[in-house]
Structure formats: structure tokens, C-alpha cells
Amino acid sequence: MRLSKRGEYALRSLINLGIATKVGRSLVRVTELAKAEDMPVKFLEQVMQQLREAGYVESERGKHGGYRLTKPATKITIGQVVRLIDGPLAPVGCVSQAAYEKCSCPDETHCGLRMLMLDVRNAIAAILDCYTLADVVEVTTRKMVTNGWPLPFSTPGNTPAAVQPGENSGRTRAALTSPSEGVIHQLLGDYAI
């Protein structure tokens, strides 16, 4: 049930790019992203290219180059990213929505294991397809701001105080099943449905 390092690095980088956007930094270098989360630079380069090809980020080359998000963080669900990097969320192919594949059991309609794994798949998807990058950025930054911590990637002109709150309101969350419990839901507070 593991998220790969590749997937983890991709999400960490997107989250940091989301934070950078929030504090007014347009471009972030790969070396900065790598340093912020202690990730191997050259490996992260590959991951960023994959994210670029998929349209989540865009790059500028040359001396003052770097990466930025191409779309608002509210439009990127975590599930999309995980599927891109790590493949289907489903534990077994025969319960995958996006990439179904027949399994070896004699009859799927009677397979108890399949039904159980379908529940697992739905539980995972309910969370990962529900929350967006903006939600995770919000959770990450809110606690830092209230603790008076400086946000990463903030330039001298963009102090934490300059961060405008509520940029996340007016959301429409595409919830499949509302994850009515869970730390993310609680931390999101009144922003959540």
C-alpha cells in the first residue's frame, strides 16, 4: 500500500510550488525544491519533467529559470498526481476504475476479496480525489503562520503577514464520499464542506 519515493517527491514539490505561489514567488529552482525536503537533485529533475509533460508545472530555462504551477492549486487533486506517478489507486487490478484488469479468480461476482479491496479502493479514492493541492498547502501553511514561522520560498518583500487568507474559499469540492472524520478534514475547519 506504499506510495513510491517518486510519488512522494512529486507531491512534496507540488506542495512547495503551491506555497511559493502563495507567497508571490513565481519560479522555484529544482535545487531549492530538493534542498527544502532533502531530495536527490538529479532524481527530482526527472520527476519535475514528468510533471511538466503532464501539464501540472511549466518551466523557464536559462540562468534565472525554474518551475511554477500551471494551474490553480484548487484544480489539482492529489489523486490525479498519485495516479500519474504511481498508477491506479486500487490495491488489485480487478477493482480499478481507471485501469481495470481481470484477475485470476474463477468468478468476480462471488469474490469476497474483490469486494473488500473495492471498499479499500473507494476509501482511498474518497480521500485522494477529494482533497486538492490547495487543501494540503493550506493545512501546511496555516499552522506555520499561526506559529509565526516564516514560510518557505518567501522573499524579503513577501513576509508571512503578506499572505492573504481566504484565497481558498468559494471552493467546490468534488467529494465522492465525504470523509467526515480525519485530520485533514478537521484542520481544514470551516473551509471544508
Partner DNA sequence: TCGATACTACATTGAATTAATAGGATTTAT
Partner DNA sequence: ATAAATCCTATTAATTCAATGTAGTATCGA
- Residues near its own copies, by CB under 8 A: 1-3, 8, 11-12, 15, 36-39, 78, 82, 86-92, 104-106, 109-113, 115-120, 122-124, 126-128, 131, 135-140, 143-144, 147, 149, 177, 179, 181-185, 187
Give the nearer residue to its own copies in terms of CB position, either 41 or 65. Answer: 41
Q: How far is CA 173 from CA 8, 116, 153, in A?
A: 23, 26, 28
Measured CA to CA, the distance from residue 10 to residue 81 in angstroms comes to: 8
Size of the site for DNA (CB under 7 A): 27
42 binds DNA (CB under 7 A): yes
Residue selected from 36, 37, 49, 142 as contacting DNA according to rule CB under 7 A: 49
Site for DNA in 74-93 (CB under 7 A): 86-87
Phi, psi of 184 (to 5 degrees): -60, -45
Residue with cell 493545512: 139
Q: Where are the beta strands (DSSP E) in the chain?
A: 57-60, 66-69
In 10 A of CB 190, how many CB atoms? 5
**Among DNA, its own copies, none, partner that 167 touches (CB below 5 to 8 angstroms by kind):** none
Residue selected from 35, 60, 98, 186 as contacting DNA according to rule CB under 7 A: 60
Instruction: Say which residues have a Cβ less than 8 Å from residue 185's Cβ, sequence separation at least 6.
Output: 179, 192
Query: Site residues (CB under 7 A) for DNA?
Result: 4-7, 29-31, 39-40, 42-43, 45-46, 48-49, 52, 59-67, 86-87
